Amino acid sequence: MLRERAAEAFGRALQILSTGQNRDLSTAPAAVEQARARLSEPMRVALVGRVSSGKSTLANALLGGELVATGVAELTYNVNWLRYADEPRLVVHFTDGRAPQQRSLADLEAVTVRREENREFLSAIDYIVVDHPNPRLRAFDLIDTPGLDSHYGTDSANTLRFLGRRGDDVRAASVDQAGRADALVLVLARGMARGDEALLADFRGSAAFGGAGPVTTIGALTKVELYWPDHSDPLRAGRRIAERLMAEAGAGRLLYELCPVASLVGAAAATLTDADTADLLDLAALPPELLSARLARGHHFTSRDYPDLPLPAPRRAAIFGRLGGYGINLACRLLREGVPDPASLRENLAEHSGLNAFRTLLVDHFGNRADLVKLQHAADRCRQTLRQLMDTAPPGAYDLLLKALGPIEQLVLDEHALAELAVLRDHYAGRLTLDASTTRELLCLTGERGADPFARLGLAPGVPLEVARDHCLERLGHWRTAAGSPAWSGAERRAAEVLSRSYERFAHHLNQALDALDRLH
């Protein structure tokens, strides 16, 4: 198993380091131990993007609850790190060296919302850990970063002045925490403005995100509910725009997929109450054209005294704040079509918001190779630390560090799946010039189209094992020939060698399975 092999390699490195007495190496064992510990921890997924792109709303939607405060001017621009725990709590970490402070989850507003009496406390916060028994957090930690902007609008600038912070500080905190993640979700709001294109270029060029690419990065096109009422189906409009951005704005080189999400609707779906449903039923009784016209007025819907609407303005404002105009219109349509109960309404809203599709993308793309991605990230950070120490180490310490680095380097060399990841990165970086059919084969074989063995071989599920074995042997011969061709470039030759080895491994396992069947008969 991958985890066991990796733990053994890191363990050997620790044993080697334990034989040295040099104080200059004191950080080396900690780096190796931290890398070993990461293998048994959940995958870390960071949400990154511009301020007000909808990162916190998306976090709440993904987790099906209001675990992160949302808003713009009132927030403190701190990192929120959400982790699974049996008991909910907050742990506040500070920039001034004081010990972390444990608090109740009920104090989330107190450590997030801008208030004059809390100025000194809020200004000293570095990041906040939210421990919660949310079952979705068993699969991954979620890191909600404040923003990668260099410049801020008036409201944001006012908050930063209130806190005595600079925009560069917020950006640095976002980059630092996201750099500790194994995978990234780049959050773009409704489309890509010029500033977002600059953000993409900056994101690709940042040393902190040097390993970012489609293997470890997906995108969320949030707030697509705001396409309504200009578009009757804002999710469909979002899909068209996402496709254009992937093709024309260079996002396809960075993101595996850009998925549209009506994030406000998705966030409200899981927390919709029976009282909310009752109010929506009252609104659903109105003629659809009248309700749509009133909702399209936005602010007027929440504040004016409309005699033809069944709810008073404060209740309209509350439900509008939860769902937005499109969300109310969608919920009322679903109720008219016969959605039977609040639970079914919540599930339908999650489906129609694009949230279910995004959750599936998140789990499938990252979850299928979570251990591998964690190992790559942990090994890279560990090797970087050891090599930095080697730059200034005296001869004896240098030799010890070099020996400790050996088992880790050998692990990376021996893990064939890491070689497949490297081929994928070469593909997405444009270093491979392959035709469409060959590219499709590469993506399937490296697991980018699914982890099932038949999917990886590009075969229909359940084909006879002999057919699968013969297919592997035929493709193995093809890629071995390609690997020896002088017409192929260095990157393409490496890809051919890796894919040859992949088919060889599949053929070996299929032969073993066929032999086992023969013995049974």
Q: Higher model confidence: residue 208 or residue 275?
A: 275
CATH number of the domain where residue 185 is located: 3.40.50.300
Of 69-73, 100-104, 294-298, 478-482, which range is least confident?
Answer: 69-73
Q: What is the mean pLDDT of residues 180-191?
A: 84
* H or E stretch at 198: helix 194-205
Q: How many domains does the chain divide into?
A: 4
Residue 74 pLDDT more than 80?
no
Question: Do 31 and 55 sit in the same domain of this protein?
Answer: no
Backbone angles phi, psi at 40, to 5 degrees: -100, 0
Residue 489 three-state SS: coil
Q: Which residues contact 153 (CB under 8 A, 6 or more apart)?
A: 51
- Is 423 within the bounds of a domain? no
DSSP state of 100: P
| pLDDT tens digits for range 476-489 | 999 999 999 888 88
Cα→Cα distances 212→88, 227, 254, 412, 442, Å: 32, 30, 7, 19, 20
The pTM for the full model equals: 0.85
| pLDDT tens digits for range 112-166 | 777 777 788 888 888 899 999 999 898 899 998 887 765 556 556 666 665 667 7
Torsion of CA 200, 202, 203, 208, to 10 degrees: 180
Q: What is the pLDDT of residue 23?
A: 65
The range of the structural domain enclosing residue 392 comes to 2-35+369-414
Question: Do 378 and 341 sit in the same domain of this protein?
Answer: no
| pLDDT tens digits for range 195-217 | 556 666 656 555 556 567 888 89
Q: Higher model confidence: residue 474 or residue 22?
A: 474
Residue 91 three-state SS: strand
Residue 149 three-state SS: coil
Q: Which residues pair with 44 in a beta bridge?
A: 141
Q: What is the pLDDT of residue 451?
A: 84
- Is 445 within the bounds of a domain? yes
33-48 burial, b for 16+ CB within 10 Å, e for fewer?
bebbebbeebbbbbbb
Question: Do 96 and 214 sit in the same domain of this protein?
Answer: yes
Question: Do 76 and 181 sit in the same domain of this protein?
Answer: yes
Q: What is the mean pLDDT of residues 103-117?
A: 80
Residue 9 pLDDT more than 90?
yes
Residue 65 pLDDT more than 80?
no
Question: Do 335 and 394 sit in the same domain of this protein?
Answer: no
- Is 419 within the bounds of a domain? no
- Is 422 within the bounds of a domain? no
Q: What is the mean pLDDT of residues 506-521?
A: 90
DSSP 5-72: HHHHHHHHHHHHHTT---GGGTHHHHHHHHHHHHTTSPEEEEEEESTTSSHHHHHHHHHTS--S---S
Q: What is the pLDDT of residue 174?
A: 79
Q: Higher model confidence: residue 165 or residue 19?
A: 19
- β-pairing, 183-189 with 217-222? parallel
**Residue appearing with tokens 């560069």:** 168
Average pLDDT for the chain: 86
- Is 267 within the bounds of a domain? no
Residue of 231, 238, 228, 227 whose CA lies nearest to 357: 238
Backbone angles phi, psi at 434, to 5 degrees: -125, 150
Of 143-157, 244-258, 310-324, 403-417, which range is least confident?
Answer: 143-157
Q: What is the pLDDT of residue 499?
A: 96
Q: Higher model confidence: residue 261 or residue 172?
A: 261
| pLDDT tens digits for range 20-34 | 666 667 788 999 999
Q: Where are the alpha helices (DSSP H) in 285-354?
A: 288-296, 299-303, 313-336, 342-352
Strands, E assignment, 50-201: 79-84, 89-94, 101-103, 125-132, 140-144, 183-189
Question: Do 178 and 256 sit in the same domain of this protein?
Answer: yes
Do residues 224 and 261 touch, judged by C-beta distance below 8 A?
yes
| pLDDT tens digits for range 89-103 | 999 999 888 999 999
Residue 397 pLDDT more than 80?
yes
Do residues 404 and 16 touch, judged by C-beta distance below 8 A?
yes
- Is 135 within the bounds of a domain? yes
